[in-house]
Structure 1
Amino acid sequence: MLTIFSAFIISLVVGFFVLHHQETHQSFTGDNDLTGVQKFHTTVVPRIGGILVLMGIIAGILIRYFSPDVGAFNVGKLLIVSAMPAFLGGLAEDLTKKVGVKMRLFLTALSAGVAGFLLDAWLTDIQVVGVDFLLTIPIIYVAFTCFAVAGVANSFNLIDGFNGLASVVSLMILLAIAYVAFQVRDYGILLSSFAAIGAIAGFVFWNYPKGAIFLGDGGAYLIGFWIAELCILLVTRNSAVSKWFPMLICIYPIFETIFTIYRRLVKRLHPGMPDANHLHQMIFRRIVSDPSNNDADQLAKENSITSAYLWFLACLSVIPAILFWQYKWILQLSTALFCTAYIWLYWAIVRFKIPAWLSR
């Protein structure tokens, strides 16, 4: 608990200073674009929440410097080092608005490569016939690992559209990882999970429900990278954990990304082109929002309510993953059921056939 508390307090304090001096730095740290297709805020908001998360994680890891479990401390320390390219690439975009998605993906893949080298965190088996044979070849498993980590990190950035959405979903996932890490007595992963949980909780204090600060690309890529690497380490260091456990706990952001690419290709749009048709945006417009009300406080309230719908959706994957983390077939079936439910929900909203129990 010391790790969580330390990470939380430092994240909270850094957030206080960032917001207290907002007028000094908002010209280059604020989200000044209030008209973009993915924008729902009405005032300039700092988008450097990733700094809070990073500082909290560092504090949570460093507090264990004198711990007798040196191995656990080293895992966290090396993950921080590995995360730097992913975080700095995202933060540079937050500050300059000039770092494209391809460069951010490349830097996150670089972070994955560094983590693979320092921690031997390579995906050499995903319990898929045929693919596992290919993953015995070094150049393939290195490329696949870097691609997978970059993809997962980007998926968390993709769902970062409403106050508390990506951050609370991340907390759910990290709690699931921490639970399984405790079950298999992997204290290195447990420590790193706790550090991230405390740091993100400190950020959520300022972000939810009114959105005083945003996670930004730096925060989203950092959290996505951290979760992806903990998942890889968990299954590579502990054979009892099914390789489908990480897939199921992360299936909401992953499938949101896959479905988004599909939607854009069908509409003959560039897969990387932003739009306002993500599931969370559809829920906001067609279930939660009152089009006749433009009051800023009401918009903030509707923003926070929207996130709660997606938290419930994420629970549909995280809960069975926690219950059946050892059982491949149940995890695979749960993954398929989640994807089916996601598609059904999306098309129900698109066709205005919203179930009564979802309506406000």
Structure 2
Amino acid sequence: MSALAFAFLLSLLFTLFLVRYSFLHNSFSADYDLNGVQKFHANPVPRIGGVALVFGLTGAFFVRYLKDPDVANFCFLLLMSAMPAFLFGLLEDLTKRIGIKIRLLAVIFSALMAGYFLESWLLSLQIFGIDNLILAYPMVSILITCFAVAGVSNAFNIIDGYNGLSSMVGFIILGGIFYVAFQLGDFSIMIAALALMGAILGFLIFNYPRGLIFLGDGGAYLIGFWIAELSILLTARHSEVSKWFPLLLCAYPIVETLFTIYRRIIIQRTHPGMPDAAHLHQMIYKRIVRWEVSSNDSRDIVIRNSLTAPYLWVLTSLAVIPAVLFWDNVWALRAFTLLFLVSYILLYRRLVLFKVPAWLIINQRR
């Protein structure tokens, strides 16, 4: 638990520093675009919270090195591999000029680094036909790994829309990874998961519920990359872990991303990279939360923002819980993945049609 404690403390202190002295960096770190389709905050807010996560991870790993150099070396290699993904995301946070293609290429480069230094390749998907291709052509494994890591990393950036959303979803998923690593006795993955969980908690104190600082693209890519790599490493190092475990574990961000691509290309007939305000978390905000707190006062805007994320925390847990219960049962994982997909589509459809289930409304007005 020392990794969690040190990462939490260091991330907390660094986030406090960023918030307390925001006037020193607001000119280049704050998000001043308050009118964009994906903007739901009332005042300019720094979006460099990912720096605090890196600071917390680095400090925790240095402390771990004094106790267990092998585990610390593993964690440092993972952190080093994550740097291209994080840094190009951070550059976007600071300049607002780094396109999605460049950021995804940076994530792919990070995936290649992790694959080379940590041997984190997807060697099987437990899907008939594809597994045969992977065995016959090693390059297929590399391509699928890069695609999966880039997809999950970008998925966390897509859901990073409200206070505490992406970060807490990441925390819950990392808890699932920690649990399975504990069951398998994989200390390296346990420490890596715990350290980021601690760093996220330190950041969350200032992000949720008031939104004094945002995760930013750098932080979202870091969390997504970390989760993707630890998931791949679990399946690569332990054959008993079903390859469907990571898919169900990350079902919410993955399904959100795939459905977004489908919605934009098939329904809206626009470029899949074009931003919109039709994500599930935005539909919950507009159809449920905004109805509960209808005032446009800046204080109420912050309240509405913070009330949105818990709905998605629950949704994430509905995938993570069966994933950690049946991490070695491929058929159970497939069934729960299908159930989650159907539930997501039905929920989204009801929100679009203004048929919100009554039990989802917390503060029903008479």
TM-score of the pair, normalised by structure 1: 0.98
Aligned equivalent of 1:346: 348
**Which aligned pairs between 1:231-242 and structure 2 lie closer than 5 A?**
231-242=231-242
Distance in 2 (alpha carbons) for counterparts of 1:71 and 1:345: 46
Distance in 2 (alpha carbons) for counterparts of 1:324 and 1:286: 34
Distance in 1 (alpha carbons) for counterparts of 2:116 and 2:337: 30
The answer to whether 1:273 aligns with 2:292 is no
Aligned equivalent of 1:327: 329
- The residue type equivalent to 1:85 in the other structure is P
The answer to whether 1:219 aligns with 2:219 is yes
Alignment partner of 2:128: what SS?
Answer: coil
Judge conservation of contact 2:6–2:56 (CA < 8 Å) in 1.
Answer: yes
Structure 1 residues 77-127: Cα deviation after superposition (integer angstroms, max 9, x where no partner): 100110010000000000000100000000000000000000111111011
Aligned equivalent of 1:132: 131
Match of 1:337 among 339, 342, 345: 339
Q: Percent identity?
A: 53
Deviates more, 1:297-306 or 1:218-227: 297-306
Shift of 1:302: 1.2
- The residue type equivalent to 2:204 in the other structure is V
TM-score of the pair, normalised by structure 2: 0.97
Aligned equivalent of 2:107: 108
Distance in 2 (alpha carbons) for counterparts of 1:151 and 1:211: 26
Segments of structure 2 that go 5 or more residues without pairing to the other structure are none
Distance in 2 (alpha carbons) for counterparts of 1:56 and 1:242: 31
Deviates more, 1:288-297 or 1:176-185: 288-297
**Which aligned pairs between 1:222-301 and structure 2 lie closer than 5 A?**
222-265=222-265, 266-290=267-291, 292-301=294-303
- The residue type equivalent to 1:67 in the other structure is K
Distance in 2 (alpha carbons) for counterparts of 1:90 and 1:279: 23
Shift of 1:71: 2.9
Segments of structure 1 that go 5 or more residues without pairing to the other structure are none
Aligned equivalent of 1:205: 205
Distance in 1 (alpha carbons) for counterparts of 2:170 and 2:294: 33
Distance in 2 (alpha carbons) for counterparts of 1:112 and 1:135: 17
Shift of 1:140: 1.2
**Which aligned pairs between 1:1-360 and structure 2 lie closer than 5 A?**
1-68=1-68, 70-136=69-135, 137-265=137-265, 266-290=267-291, 292-360=294-362
Deviates more, 1:273-282 or 1:285-294: 285-294
Judge conservation of contact 2:11–2:56 (CA < 8 Å) in 1.
Answer: yes
Deviates more, 1:58-67 or 1:40-49: 58-67
Judge conservation of contact 2:65–2:71 (CA < 8 Å) in 1.
Answer: no
Alignment partner of 1:66: what SS?
Answer: helix
Judge conservation of contact 2:50–2:222 (CA < 8 Å) in 1.
Answer: yes
Judge conservation of contact 2:155–2:257 (CA < 8 Å) in 1.
Answer: yes
Judge conservation of contact 2:176–2:320 (CA < 8 Å) in 1.
Answer: yes
Distance in 1 (alpha carbons) for counterparts of 2:259 and 2:311: 18
Distance in 1 (alpha carbons) for counterparts of 2:142 and 2:309: 35
Distance in 2 (alpha carbons) for counterparts of 1:226 and 1:20: 28
Distance in 2 (alpha carbons) for counterparts of 1:257 and 1:113: 22
Distance in 2 (alpha carbons) for counterparts of 1:128 and 1:72: 32
Alignment partner of 1:273: what SS?
Answer: coil
Structure 1 residues 164-212: Cα deviation after superposition (integer angstroms, max 9, x where no partner): 0011110000000001001000001001001100001111111000100
- The residue type equivalent to 2:314 in the other structure is F
Alignment partner of 2:65: what SS?
Answer: coil
Distance in 1 (alpha carbons) for counterparts of 2:336 and 2:346: 15
Structure 1 residues 22-55: Cα deviation after superposition (integer angstroms, max 9, x where no partner): 1111000000100000000010100000001111
Distance in 2 (alpha carbons) for counterparts of 1:112 and 1:65: 24
Distance in 2 (alpha carbons) for counterparts of 1:205 and 1:275: 29
The number of residues matched between the two structures is 359
Distance in 2 (alpha carbons) for counterparts of 1:109 and 1:135: 19
Deviates more, 1:1-10 or 1:287-296: 287-296
- The residue type equivalent to 1:106 in the other structure is L
Distance in 1 (alpha carbons) for counterparts of 2:133 and 2:52: 40
Structure 1 residues 137-170: Cα deviation after superposition (integer angstroms, max 9, x where no partner): 1211111111110110000000000000011110
Shift of 1:292: 4.4
Provide runs of 4+ in structure 1 moved above 4 Å.
Answer: none
Shift of 1:73: 1.7
